[in-house]
Structure 1
Amino acid sequence: MALITLLDAQLAFGHVPLLDHTDFSLLESERIGLIGRNGAGKSSLLKILGGLEKPDDGALQYQQHLRVSYVAQEPALDMEADVFTAASAGLSEVIAVRDLYLSGADGLDLDALQSQIEAFDAWNWEQRVEETLHRLHLDRNARVGNLSAVPASGSPWHRPWSRRPTCSCSTSPPTTWTSTPSSGSNSC
């Protein structure tokens, strides 16, 4: 069964069609590279697959409980931040749900919040970030701007792995989509 399926997608900018009745599917454990000239629609396709943009027409379907991460080609990253803070930025929704639960505010549906926390594995978000940084051999306290591998644009290549995505994509060369087994135990 496909993790992501795109059917009969159409996308155009002005009179230039980028996707013309395009079909796409990503199966579990597949690694896919998109090759094409500049302006051919590779990044637009990945943004649609990542849920950041919608096609003009067509259908996008995700397997239930799929987690998708997207790393922008030219993201903004605080070069003064420490690595742990920068990596944690990709988990803001997860952190917010857990913090809301822990706030104990009146009127909260704690059962619903607990379900979200379990779905996100939010009780362990700090550990997930630490594990990610350890696998990448990064010092959590290092300043992002001092890392030798960080380009001037500050590409947040570490963020998707903290979320334990089922699928991830990057528009930085090479443009790729990868999927991992549904257990989420392997990194791509």
Structure 2
Amino acid sequence: MTQRAISDDGQWWWDGQRWLPALSPDGRWRFDGRAWRRTSTWRQPSPAVLISAAVWVATLALWGPTLVMVLPPVPNVAPDPGVEAVLITVFVVVVVLATAATGFIIGVAAQLRWLWLASVIGAGAQMVGYVASMIIADTQSGGSADDFAAVGLIMLTGPVLLGITALLWAGGGLGALARIASRRLANRSQ
């Protein structure tokens, strides 16, 4: 079956003779231009989404421990605050951009429902990385960083979850807008 034209608002589809509703009367089925699909089904993410999500989760889990290992404490030597600030800024910018980019890819793939699960997985990965960072810092310094890990885990989980959710949805919204704009441009050229 060939691709059928969908209206700009996604509510109608052209069958070659007339515009027909793209949503079934009971709201359970939607025509996507090729086939009728259940509106309540969760499609499996595409390989591009899965690969980008895996890279993103690894980035969230590893940026903290990597930073701690890159900036090991040297006894009786004060660290250079400028170098630390630059490295921390670079790592945070990479994490923020990776999170928004993952949301963008999910939005372009029209799978925005997965952003809720991605938020929870991302926050979990960030907290695993945080605890690993505290353990590495504790073993390097012989201090009590493990106590801070427990307190930080309790205090930071909520804000991290909210921040990751906001970044994913910002990227997802931009991805959905890009998908809609691309569809409109394709419909205009036909």
Instruction: Please identify which structure carries the higher strand content.
Output: 1
**TM bracket (short chain):** under 0.3
Q: Greater share of helix residues, 1 or 2?
A: 2
TM-score w.r.t. length of structure 1: 0.24
Which protein has the larger Cα radius of gyration, Structure 1 or Structure 2?
2
